[in-house]
Amino acid sequence: MADIFRFDGKTVVIIGAGSGIGRAVAIGAAQHGAHVGCADVNAEAARATAEAIISEGGTADHAARDITDAAATDRVLDQLASATGRLDGLACTPGINVRKKLLDYSEDEFDRVVQLNLKGSFNVVRSAGRIMTTQCRGSLVLFSSIRSLVVEPGQAIYSMTKAGILQLVRGAACEFGPAGVRVNAIGPGVIETPLTAPIKAQSEWYQAYANKNIMKRWAQAGEMAGPTLFLLSDAASYVTGTILYADGGWLAIDGRFTPPGM
């Protein structure tokens, strides 16, 4: 059974590999035997992750990649896949959030969030899907969120995109499945990453989010590596078109008050 979690002889591309969750997943994939393509809009950050993998005895390539550019996405994925002649897995982690109430949102801010979170995810699914359906194998993992189901003031647009990613995953799973390609999503809860750094800087806000989940804490980026690698691996060979919530029990617990005597 241990072998079904391995990636020996396989090529896995991680988009957003330069930092946070993406970097953790990239290093984890390499430790499980994958040749890792490290892609990030920050070329130096992608290079640094690839070099970290190589320094530990793994193999990796790197490339700068802006997933909002469809042609560039095609080009870079072809480049990373051509290094080994295959693309067995891909995880896409980047996302952006502008926290504002709907009536305060500008058109430019709306476009920025939708451009990266939705259009970027679409570009990745289409680009990787073409390669994987041609070779008749592969696993795609996109990053949604608990916000695909629950929302709070200032999160409407971000939540809309995360729900859209989940539906994109389901649709792609339906279309790619006959070619042997699986498509799934991860739904993180609150994770300590550069994206959430402004919340961490405000102790009351940070603690309120910690208190909302069952584990009473935030997750570290590395805690998203295991769930992501599971969905990418053969251990999840019968899992497609779904979302794995890694949220510390955020969605399971109702409310913040424990009745007396409980």
Q: Using alpha carbons, list the distances in angstroms from residue 49 to 34, 38, 206.
A: 14, 7, 28
Out of 158, 206, 238, 245, the active site residue is: 158
158 is annotated as an active-site residue: yes
> With contact defined as beta carbons under 8 Å apart, do 107 and 100 qualify?
no
Place of tokens 């530990």: 56
Q: How far apart are CA 245 and CA 237, in angstroms?
A: 18
Residues in the chain: 262
Q: Tell me what percent of the chain is helix, strand and coil, each rounded to the nearest 5.
A: 50, 15, 35
Strands 35-40 and 181-188: unpaired
**First and final CA of the chain: distance in angstroms?**
40
Q: Which residues are catalytic?
A: 158
